[in-house]
Amino acid sequence: MRRAFAIVPLLSTVMLSTGRPDNYFSCTMFPGPEGTQGQLTFAVRYAVSPAGAEQVVLLVSDQATYPCMNYQLESGLSVAGQDILVSMSGRILKPDVCLTATGPAQYQTALPIAPGTYSLEFARSGAVDRYRLTVTATAIAISTIESSFTRPM
């Protein structure tokens, strides 16, 4: 029994001192080692809110696979009139609790918009991708104006 108690601290020390950024035993948020400077994909679709109402939702994903399915893209949203700006920092945030499945890092948010035509922009490291977003009661359409690091799914 004493031998087992001696091995656990030894294994924990070895696993925690590997220096790997994806250390599964760490519970803190962190920027990914390279960030996400690659291609991002996005979708805008209708979804049902927790209150039961239909809402427009933006989902952005990177192309990497992480050990937890709930890694996040550090991002911010600004909506002013007909202009939607999504600011992407390029940082990956590791969750405090790992949902046990692999997957890409994602950013998901409800868009507080009504049917109409909007300018949708993604900004990252000085680059800006521009789209025209058209929302009707029955459909959502995305038209590319200028794109360097994002693309619709």
Non-local CB neighbours of 37 within 8 Å, separated by 6+ positions: 90, 124, 125, 149
Per-residue pLDDT of 29-80, as tens digits, reads: 344 444 556 899 999 999 998 889 999 999 999 999 999 999 999 999 999 9
pLDDT, tens digit (0-9, with 9 covering 90-100), for 71-126:
999 999 999 999 999 999 999 999 999 998 999 999 999 999 999 999 999 999 99
* pLDDT for position 38: 84
Query: What average pLDDT does the segment 14-26 reach?
Result: 37
The domain locations on the chain are: 28-152
- What is the Cα–Cα distance from 70 to 78, expressed in whole angstroms? 23
What pLDDT does 20 receive?
A: 38
pLDDT tens-digit series, residues 3-15: 444 433 333 333 3
65 contacts: CB under 8 Å, gap ≥ 6: 102, 103, 104
Please give the C-alpha separations between residue 103 and each of 11, 69, 72, 106, in angstroms, as whole numbers: 27, 5, 10, 9
Token pair for residue 58? Answer: 């933006």
The arithmetic mean of pLDDT across residues 21-31, rounded, is 38
